[in-house]
Structure 1
């Protein structure tokens, strides 16, 4: 379960339920369900009367529903806090040589170190996302404003990213490269 997709789905469903409840309340206040409901006070205790008449089964059902809601909320929070789209270790297979486990952290660290060694690069960060059969390398580099961006981009693509593709034995590895130009002034937000 991907946290962003789940968050959007749950929030859209919640918004639709609340919108429907608000629409029904507005419709009742305008008399669309009859004048009796329009004149009824919000504190008429219709639900309390119903719960009082059916108390033997009503409150246990409410308790079970509340428990299910709590469990769903806990699962949602755990997914948000502990889910990640980062890839785990990879198995690289060479013909006749057996299997080798390659840490994605080692690959991303090597890419980061190589890019940071280039003139004009202030800092770099890389991460592998996806599953072993559908990886994407995401690289972010902050470059100085005096750097030759086209030449630096070409060097990053032809050297560091080519080395990563070679190390993973995947010449078609999708790579997202984001270059950010750092200005001489640092912006401070308060």
Structure 2
């Protein structure tokens, strides 16, 4: 899984190689490609009027393609539901669940997947498990922290460039209406790779 590569292995994620600019750029490009492939999987699901509901590193498979490049696939689609069939259900992993789901103020929609994508991007950048990181900052439950607006810190050493940070923050915004669409995230990284 992507979690095995990013967190459990000795992977050179962008924050870990931050002192070596050329290596960091390579890692940023690799991360951008992986996020774009995750976005393509989400786009496929969203275009079917479905919501994944459990996007997290553990549910992203990674394998080598014929050209030696990593291929990303979304898994654990057992919780994936049609937007019209979701009702008031709660599903997913707390660290990746959007606050509106935990608060039960709205049903799962595409924007809840975007929130989860933000947590995935943060973990990919820093190589740290978001749940463990948030737990280390609080005394209550993870759910209450997310409901209260606590997100993983963007102030750790070797933080992402300002535009990457701004994108992640938009994706995990408390208000789902302020979160971008999956195509906006894909375009952001496509533009990054073109420059």
TM-score tier by shorter-chain length is under 0.3
TM-score of the superposition, structure 2-length normalised?
0.23
Query: Greater RCO between the two (CA within 8 Å, min separation 6)?
Result: 2
TM-score of the superposition, structure 1-length normalised?
0.23
Q: Greater strand share, 1 or 2?
A: 1
Give the greater-gyration-radius structure (CA). 1
